[in-house]
Amino acid sequence: MIVDPHLLRTFVAVARLGSFSAAARELGYTQSAVSQHIAALEADLRASLLRRRPVALTDAGTRLLEHAEPLLLRLAAARADVTRLAAAPPARLVVGASAPAATSVLATRLADVRAAWPLAAVTVRVLERAVIAARVADGTLDLGLVDGIAAPTDPLHHPDVGPLTALAVTQEPLVVLLPAGHPLSGRRGLHLTDLADARWIDAPDAAMPLDRLRIACGSDGYRASLRYEGTDVRGLIALATAGHGLALLPESAVEGTTTGVAVPVTAPRLTHRVEVLHGGLPAGPAALLAAALTG
């Protein structure tokens, strides 16, 4: 009746690694067991999930994978969440932050956090946005700081991996960074919709990912002419001011930049927002620390 999560875990491993034997090694099974797992899953669901030799997902398999990954995540989150309730608050704090806007917020508030909860060790881990909520849910992180684009009062949209509490930490204007001589560089404000066809730099780990922008604007534009994979804002600023494309950043990220011009976004009404995430224990240490961050 109920789909066996062990089989799902095996299925996910096989799909990711593209090999039964590699999945078996990773999971500590024999190759045979993995084969039986997949066979059992296919029999249970009465659908072929994988094509063998070479191993590739069928349509049904692709579909199942979309369910299986969040499912396993939630399963881990459930365990972590309940266990966390019982366990004594540990003398350590692991904070995950999306880079670098959220990290800079953390830097300015970390003193408050340390004051609120004198901990032996604090670890800050810079991670991509998508995984932070998951790591908070499964207990790998005690606290998460995530930034994103949202209308002024709207909360950010986090992947649903369990009951998490999200609190706004900061909210500030978005700016478009232009090279010094750019035709628009004299403007006081910009309408993003006018820039849908401009040359953009997609810097998902250093600035705002363009796909988020597309979602926020409901537009197909904002295509990247350059992709910047890294978390160093200065590198991004250098590229943008050298004219390789526009960059969308929170206002604070461009403070002190003299080689380019940062023009605020005036429409649509979007802001850069940082939220802190924690597993919503009412009076736990994470909640205290979250309060210290928002206060």
Partner DNA sequence: ATGCCTTACGCCGCCCGTAACCATG
Partner DNA sequence: CATGGTTACGGGCGGCGTAAGGCAT
State in angstroms the smallest separation of the CB of 56 from DNA.
11
CB atoms under 10 Å from CB of 272, counted, come to: 24
Is position 173 an interface residue for its own copies (rule: CB under 8 A)? no
Give the interface size with its own copies as a residue count (CB under 8 A). Answer: 38
Is position 57 an interface residue for its own copies (rule: CB under 8 A)? no
Q: Which of 276, 248, 270 is nearest to 146 (CA)?
A: 276
Is position 19 an interface residue for DNA (rule: CB under 7 A)? yes
- The residue behind tokens 């365990």 is 79
Give the interface size with DNA as a residue count (CB under 7 A). Answer: 20
Residue spans of beta strands (DSSP E) within the chain: 50-51, 56-57, 92-98, 121-127, 143-150, 164-179, 190-191, 200-202, 224-227, 247-250, 260-267, 271-279
> Which part of the chain contacts DNA (CB under 7 A), choosing from 27-35, 84-92, 101-109, 120-128?
27-35
Is position 90 an interface residue for its own copies (rule: CB under 8 A)? no
9, 73 Cβ separation under 8 angstroms: no
Is position 39 an interface residue for DNA (rule: CB under 7 A)? yes
Is position 214 an interface residue for its own copies (rule: CB under 8 A)? no
The neighbouring-strand residues paired with 166 are 277
Residue 163 and residue 150: Cα distance in Å, rounded?
A: 21
Is position 152 an interface residue for its own copies (rule: CB under 8 A)? no
102, 145 Cβ separation under 8 angstroms: yes
Q: Which does 171 bind (CB under 5 to 8 A by kind): its own copies, DNA, none?
A: none
Q: Site residues (CB under 7 A) for DNA?
A: 4, 6, 19-21, 28-33, 35-40, 52-53, 55
Q: Site residues (CB under 8 A) for its own copies?
A: 2-3, 5-6, 8-9, 45-47, 49, 59-60, 63-64, 66-68, 70-72, 74-75, 77-79, 81-83, 85-86, 151, 153-154, 159-160, 162-163, 218
